[in-house]
Structure 1
Amino acid sequence: MSVRPFREIHRRQSRQISVGDVKVGGDAPITVQSMTNTDATDVEGTVAQIRALEEAGADIVRVSCPTKESTDALRRIVPQVRVPLVADIHFHYKRAIEAAQAGAACLRINPGNIGSRERVKEVVQAAKDHGCSMRIGVNAGSLERNLLERFGEPCPEAMVESALTHAKVLEDEDFHEFKISCKASDVFLAVAAYMQLAEACDYPLHLGITEAGGLRTGTVKSSIGLGNLLWAGIGDTLRVSLSADPVEEIKVGFDILKSLGLRHRGVNVISCPSCARQQFDVIETVKVLEERLSHISTPMTVSVIGCVVNGPGEALMTDVGFTGGGRGTHQVYINGVPNHRLKDEDIVDHLVRQVEAKAAEIEARMAAESEAESPAEPARVSG
């Protein structure tokens, strides 16, 4: 029995595929993706953006490849980055073949919009030859005409039928290394479609609320939609689609996973909204602190609470805690235990030092545990 059963999420069991060296589905961690918004033919600019996404923690990055020039550029981009790249392909089946040859780890396609069965067969063969997986990308805004005529409008049933029809095309070619997305900008439609799709197949699912909006509104919509699905155990990889810097998509994606305890990367700051009881400027402190701690990838939790009403209780569950006290004397907690007091010193600078020290301690412990778990090499006998 779990100590906290109310926090348990039981993930849907799916097949596992590979996107380059990243596993998706099965018991693999839920991966976080984004997409470049540079022209792929601008190799230098695209590589710079991919590296920024890598630094933010991206597991997979998608690059749009609509032209022969862009797939040629992809061949030069792939060797310069660490993360596996997904080539975004629409309509032109030759672009998919070229992207596979150029080193793409995955092809994002709709089998139904790249032409005849013979063309699909050629794309599948290229994927097999070059070790590519695929993503079948169904979108409520681009459903097939026959489905719209039959169902009247985009609906969960139409989206799931589209996905399964495309999946059958690949299955008929004996290709099973693919995941499926079923996106909509309407939260209700997307969630319902994904829930039906999760019941209808065992392929890994790529989650997203497409065209979610700007940074604030898009984050809210994505958190509601993706949060519902992830809480239900649905989803193996995700993208938060924002009209914002792609790096923000990675940050929000990890924040959603951290909030559900599904994946941990970096510092999770627990802070109060502030009120008249606060003994320091909570809002400005947290704003600057999050910026100053953005370089830390070690999973850990920090609480920053303005007064003693909730501060000590929140600190019990954190690696580093900070509670505002009267007359400018504040309490610092380490591992949930009161450690020392702070007075007449910059709060942010002090907390950054405490968090960095704690991160180093956690990393050292993890390294020691990993070394202890590794089997020792047998002693070599000379002679």
Structure 2
Amino acid sequence: MTFIKERQKTRKISVGNIFVGGEEPVAIQSMTNTYTQDITATVDQIAALTRAGCEIVRVAVPDMDAALAIKEIKKQIEIPLIADIHFDYKLAIASAHAGADGLRINPGNIGATHKIKAVADCAKSHGIPIRVGVNAGSLEKEILATMGPTPGAMVESALRNIAILEDLGFYDIKISLKASDVERTVEAYRLISKRTDVPLHVGVTEAGGLYAGITKSAIGIGMLLAEGIGDTIRVSLTRDPVEEIRVGWEILRSLKIRKRGPEIISCPTCGRCKINLFDIARTVEDALLNCTTDIKVAIMGCVVNGPGEAREADIGIAGGDGMGILFKKGEVVKKVNQDRLVEVLLQEVRQYESEQSHNKNIN
């Protein structure tokens, strides 16, 4: 019995130059928290997200100024952009005309059938997909009245909205079913995965701040991915969205689904630790945030046990009293003054990056 089940097959759609669904890699995405009409701030944040490994970005479109800003934003970014619209179908159409690579709507709150059809026809003419976003907190009144905010109600809403679009001849759809708690979210995705082949956007919405958000997201998204459910993920945190990307990649790495950049391992410290390991670990993490090389880096607090405990690391450091050591694959390479540990470690990582890049180019 394997830990990760085979991924469930879904239809494949394209979001700009990224494919979602089918046998494509699970894509990582996030959402900006800038005012979209502030083009400079939005572009800057998308650039930071891109460097961190974001593959699809979503922007809020609450008004026409935000919709029109998409045209200029698209000229300055490298990754696909999805416009997030509620209620006003004209904003969805304007966003598509402005160059959005996808639309996020809830057909149930867009209104009359002719409005939904106008959005679907526009999306089809531009060759862009629609994500149907179902949220436990904003279900249709009749569904909520009869079923309550349950996983079954979320699935019923999703299937209704999928049917609305497919009856209009639109099939480039993906779906999300999010609640603010793990239990309902996981159960809703389990249920929907048995009822449709539409690609699934997985996440726990309104997950909270750093600790609650990471915990809920890691458990909820991780459980679903381990069961083979999910084609693209978004970690929701009340933080800088770059943190969402960092957590998303760690979830994928921990499940051995995808890898990007360094895996940093470090000890929790104990009474033997003679260095400020917390600050060192944070400094190294920040310095390597945009590193894309697959490398395991160890940051250990004890020269006695550190190298042995981190024997599988490609490169590592372990601190002592005023001195530390640099080691590779568990073998000590040299002693280093404590105040140069981070500098020496980062130099070795950059050298490793260069060697890996050279080898890749030769091959």
- TM-score interval for Structure 1 and Structure 2 normalised by the shorter chain: over 0.9
Alignment partner of 1:367 is 2:361: yes
Which of the residues 340, 356, 360 maps onto 2:333? 340
Could you give the per-residue CA deviations for residues 209-251 of structure 1, whole angstroms, max 9, x where no partner exists? Answer: 1111112221121111111111212111111111111111111
2:176 corresponding residue in structure 1: 181
**CA distance, structure 2, for counterparts of residue 52 and residue 290 of structure 1:** 15
Shift of 1:329: 5.0
Tell me the amino acid that sits aligned with residue 95 of structure 1.
L
Tell me, yes or no, if the aligned pair for 2:307 and 2:332 is still in contact at 8 Å. Answer: no
Which of the residues 305, 313, 332 maps onto 2:300? 305
- Do the aligned partners of residues 154 and 310 (structure 1) sit closer, same or farther apart at CA in structure 2, a change above 3 Å counting? farther
1:355 corresponding residue in structure 2: 349
- Do the aligned partners of residues 42 and 324 (structure 1) sit closer, same or farther apart at CA in structure 2, a change above 3 Å counting? closer
Q: TM-score, normalised by structure 2?
A: 0.94
Tell me the amino acid that sits aligned with residue 345 of structure 2.
L
1:131-142 matched pairs, under 5 angstroms:
131-142=127-138
Report the number of matched residues.
362
**CA distance, structure 1, for counterparts of residue 203 and residue 304 of structure 2:** 39
Which of the residues 34, 37, 49 maps onto 1:38? 34
**CA distance, structure 2, for counterparts of residue 245 and residue 175 of structure 1:** 35
- Do the aligned partners of residues 67 and 284 (structure 1) sit closer, same or farther apart at CA in structure 2, a change above 3 Å counting? closer
Q: Which 10-residue stretch deviates more, 286-295 or 134-143?
A: 286-295
Tell me, yes or no, if the aligned pair for 1:332 and 1:342 is still in contact at 8 Å. Answer: no
**CA distance, structure 2, for counterparts of residue 290 and residue 189 of structure 1:** 34
**SS class of match (1:200):** coil
- Do the aligned partners of residues 37 and 219 (structure 1) sit closer, same or farther apart at CA in structure 2, a change above 3 Å counting? same
Could you give the per-residue CA deviations for residues 230-279 of structure 1, whole angstroms, max 9, x where no partner exists? Answer: 12121111111111111111111112212222221121101110112335
Identity %, equivalent residues: 46
Tell me the amino acid that sits aligned with residue 255 of structure 1.
E
1:378 corresponding residue in structure 2: none
Which of the residues 190, 208, 215 maps onto 1:213? 208
**SS class of match (2:194):** helix
**CA distance, structure 1, for counterparts of residue 182 and residue 203 of structure 2:** 10
Alignment partner of 1:19 is 2:15: yes
1:129 corresponding residue in structure 2: 125
Shift of 1:297: 1.7
Alignment partner of 1:159 is 2:158: no
Tell me, yes or no, if the aligned pair for 2:312 and 2:330 is still in contact at 8 Å. Answer: no
2:234 corresponding residue in structure 1: 239
Tell me, yes or no, if the aligned pair for 1:325 and 1:331 is still in contact at 8 Å. Answer: no
**CA distance, structure 1, for counterparts of residue 67 and residue 326 of structure 2:** 57
- Do the aligned partners of residues 309 and 328 (structure 1) sit closer, same or farther apart at CA in structure 2, a change above 3 Å counting? closer
- Do the aligned partners of residues 147 and 222 (structure 1) sit closer, same or farther apart at CA in structure 2, a change above 3 Å counting? same
Q: Which 10-residue stretch deviates more, 114-123 or 278-287?
A: 278-287
1:29-178 matched pairs, under 5 angstroms:
29-151=25-147, 153-178=148-173
**CA distance, structure 1, for counterparts of residue 326 and residue 46 of structure 2:** 41
Shift of 1:312: 3.6
**CA distance, structure 1, for counterparts of residue 3 and residue 275 of structure 2:** 33
RMSD after superposition: 1.9
Gaps of 5+ in 1: 370-383
Could you give the per-residue CA deviations for residues 101-136 of structure 1, whole angstroms, max 9, x where no partner exists? Answer: 111100001112112222211111111111111100
Tell me, yes or no, if the aligned pair for 1:316 and 1:337 is still in contact at 8 Å. Answer: yes
Tell me, yes or no, if the aligned pair for 1:319 and 1:358 is still in contact at 8 Å. Answer: no
1:196 corresponding residue in structure 2: 191
Could you give the per-residue CA deviations for residues 9-50 of structure 1, whole angstroms, max 9, x where no partner exists? Answer: 422221111000111111211111111122222222222221
Tell me, yes or no, if the aligned pair for 2:317 and 2:324 is still in contact at 8 Å. Answer: no
**CA distance, structure 1, for counterparts of residue 49 and residue 324 of structure 2:** 40
Alignment partner of 1:265 is 2:260: yes
**CA distance, structure 1, for counterparts of residue 213 and residue 172 of structure 2:** 30
Q: Which 10-residue stretch deviates more, 37-46 or 106-115?
A: 37-46
Tell me, yes or no, if the aligned pair for 2:326 and 2:336 is still in contact at 8 Å. Answer: no
**CA distance, structure 2, for counterparts of residue 355 and residue 259 of structure 1:** 21
**CA distance, structure 1, for counterparts of residue 41 and residue 316 of structure 2:** 40
Could you give the per-residue CA deviations for residues 302-337 of structure 1, whole angstroms, max 9, x where no partner exists? Answer: 12222367534443322213345688352511xx25
**SS class of match (1:234):** coil
Tell me the amino acid that sits aligned with residue 249 of structure 2.
F
